[in-house]
């Protein structure tokens, strides 16, 4: 994972003072690193009966859609409000500095579907927890949650401790 870690750059004071942002842009710009990251994300789940991959807007779309393709399953975008054109189901959740909502089409997940949730980063766990709730609200089962980066000091893992969790790089 050192190869992947070397492709993540630190941006101090973004998006606000005191935050050290982990920028994955160099990783996704490098085809070999992007492929390695996706293959490592799905490695523990290759033999699991997964019916779809869900990814959170926006960077979860990058890794999640490629992971779905690699697994030979469909991709479910979990979107910010107002982005989906059909009937939706939603889950709202708290952030450190406000509220947020995730939405999915009501027919994106069928009862009993087995979903692998993928995102670029696990921080406080609010988005991941809301994503799991949304999948379950639509009748699916979360097989696991997989992340490229986990910020361990923020204890996001505690928010989704009912689900298997896999992260490639921990800070």
Element (H, E) at 51: none
- Whether 96 is catalytic is yes
Q: Is 59 exposed, middle or buried (0-12, 13-18, 19+ CB in 10 A)?
A: middle
Q: Which of 35, 40, 57, 96 is catalytic?
A: 96
Element (H, E) at 119: strand 114-122
- Whether 157 is catalytic is no
* Cβ atoms within 10 Å, residue 7: 20
Which residues face 104 on adjacent strands? 89
Q: Which of 40, 59, 70, 136 is catalytic?
A: 59
Which residues face 50 on adjacent strands? none
User: 């393709």: which residue's tokens?
Assistant: 69
The Cα 94–Cα 127 span in angstroms is: 9
Q: Are 136 and 142 in contact (CB under 8 A)?
A: yes
The Cα 8–Cα 22 span in angstroms is: 6
Please identify every residue annotated as catalytic.
59, 96
């Amino acid at each position: 994972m050192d190869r992947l870690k070397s492709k993540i750059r630190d941006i101090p004071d973004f998006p606000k003072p005191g935050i050290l942002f982990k920028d994955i842009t160099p990783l996704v710009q490098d085809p070999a690193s992007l492929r390695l990251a996706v293959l490592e994300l799905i490695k523990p789940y290759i033999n699991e009966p997964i019916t779809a991959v869900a990814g959170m807007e926006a960077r979860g779309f990058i890794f999640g859609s490629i992971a779905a393709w690699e697994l030979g399953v469909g991709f479910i975008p979990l979107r910010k409000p107002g982005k989906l054109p059909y009937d939706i189901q939603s889950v709202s959740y708290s952030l450190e500095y406000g509220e947020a909502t995730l939405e999915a089409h009501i027919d994106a997940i069928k009862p009993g579907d087995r979903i692998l949730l993928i995102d670029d980063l696990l921080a406080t766990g609010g988005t991941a927890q809301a994503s799991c709730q949304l999948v379950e609200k639509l009748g699916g089962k979360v097989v696991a949650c997989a992340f490229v980066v986990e910020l361990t000091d923020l204890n996001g893992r505690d928010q989704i401790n009912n689900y298997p969790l896999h992260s490639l790089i921990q800070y």
